[in-house]
Amino acid sequence: MMNKTTKKLRAQDSGNSEKETQTPKPSIRNPKSILVTGGAGFIGSEFVRQAVKKNSRVVVIDKLTYAGDLERIKGATEKVTFYKADITNKEFIEHIFEKEKPDVVVHFAAESHVDRSIIDAAPFIKTNIEGTQVLLDAAKRLWLSKEGFGMKDLGFRVKDLGVEDSGDMDKSNQKPIFINIATDEVYGELGVNGQFYETTPLNPNSPYSVSKTSADMLGRAYFRTFGLPVITLRPSNNYGYWQYPEKLIPVVILKALNNEKIPVYGKGENIREWLYVADCVEAILSVIEKGKPGEIYNIGSGFEKKNIDVVKSILRILNKSEDLITFVKDRPGHDFRYSLNTDKINNEIGWCAKTDFETGMEMTVKWYLDNMDWVNKKLDYLRRYWEVVYSSI
């Protein structure tokens, strides 16, 4: 399945559409210090790896739960300052902000697996909502106070706060920004047709997506109420290197390699838009440079696939039989389809996804084949988890 975003991507790649090819706007933001929450996670670590290549000073905060792993950023550790911290720890987070004085915050840290939120929603409420509030308050304290970057330099609604700029603050980092990473799941679900736009009303359906919607709305509230320079990003389903093997694609790869039954919810008809993780991070970096505070940007690829077709594509790459597929009881409240319209980020930021699904999947499968030592370290924990989630197999 291919939506019009994919058609645009391919038209640009082939050079056949001068009208649709956008000239990127000049950079307006060149961060000196980036604080990354969840920087040892799947998408966060890809951001860290790309950011250090741009010679940015990177500070990583990660609690190192089951899903966090410093192995993901071991090649960049000499250029990274790392704090093992829970983002709900207000005092420690404020200490880190005051010490490191980031001019950009990229907030990835989250409980992110829908199945786990159905088993126990409490960690999602605490981390995704309370943790986001702690981070927003720390950024507000740093950036919107006399001791921060200076009120006039932010240029938003901070004049309403009644805080004066002392005139003697450091003006070297004049455009701080808080990148709040949300998800396409905040929109709810679609039928066979249609797309989600940035203006689509939010209608989340799982404990996970409700917690992320709350975090999304908190960030936008802090922009509106306090003038905190927040940009909200809503990416589609990511896949690629280093993804923890609880999500669909790595689960299928791992089980197929071991000739184990592959669980597929319902009949596998649910549709997701698949975005290669390196493309997602390139979009985030582009928004850091060119994005406008207060705005929302969808990040999608245009490559929509039924879950069953994703599974079959992996089995073909691995030369495994489709007989391994086992249909299991559907997930409660399972959203049918997600599809993002990305005209805004295409036109205003000048970004389009580069990696088609087939190429991205080939690279992803190869990476897991080459890194089974890392995957195998997770197996004992995973098997206990799978017994709970896929108990009907």
Once rounded to an integer, what is the mean pLDDT over residues 323-350?
Answer: 95
Residue 381: per-residue pLDDT: 77
Residue 10: per-residue pLDDT: 37
Residue 6: per-residue pLDDT: 45
Residue 146: per-residue pLDDT: 55
Give residue-wise pLDDT tens across range 355-368. 999 999 999 999 99
Residue 158: per-residue pLDDT: 41
Give residue-wise pLDDT tens across range 106-124. 999 999 888 888 889 999 9
- What SS3 class is residue 53? helix
- Give me 359's structure tokens: 């190429």
Q: Per-residue pLDDT for 15 more than 70? A: no
Q: Per-residue pLDDT for 29 more than 60? A: yes
Once rounded to an integer, what is the mean pLDDT over residues 8-25?
Answer: 42
Q: Per-residue pLDDT for 166 more than 70? A: no
Give residue-wise pLDDT tens across range 124-150. 999 999 999 999 999 999 999 754 444
Pairwise CA distance, residues 170 & 147, whole Å: 9
Q: How far apart are the first and last CA of the chain?
A: 29
Cβ atoms 327, 261 nearer than 8 A:
no
In angstroms and rounded to an integer, the radius of gyration of the C-alpha atoms of the chain is 21
- Give me 7's structure tokens: 């058609």
Higher pLDDT, 152 or 254: 254
Q: What value does the mean pLDDT of the chain take?
A: 87
Residue 260: per-residue pLDDT: 94
The torsion of the CA quartet 282, 285, 286, 288, rounded to 10 degrees, works out to 160
- CATH for 28-328+338-386 is 3.40.50.720
Q: What percent of the chain shows pLDDT beyond 90?
A: 73
pLDDT confidence tier of residue 28, bands split at 50, 70 and 90: low
Pairwise CA distance, residues 286 & 139, whole Å: 21
- Residue numbers annotated as active site: 184-185, 208
Domain parsing of the chain, residue ranges? 28-328+338-386
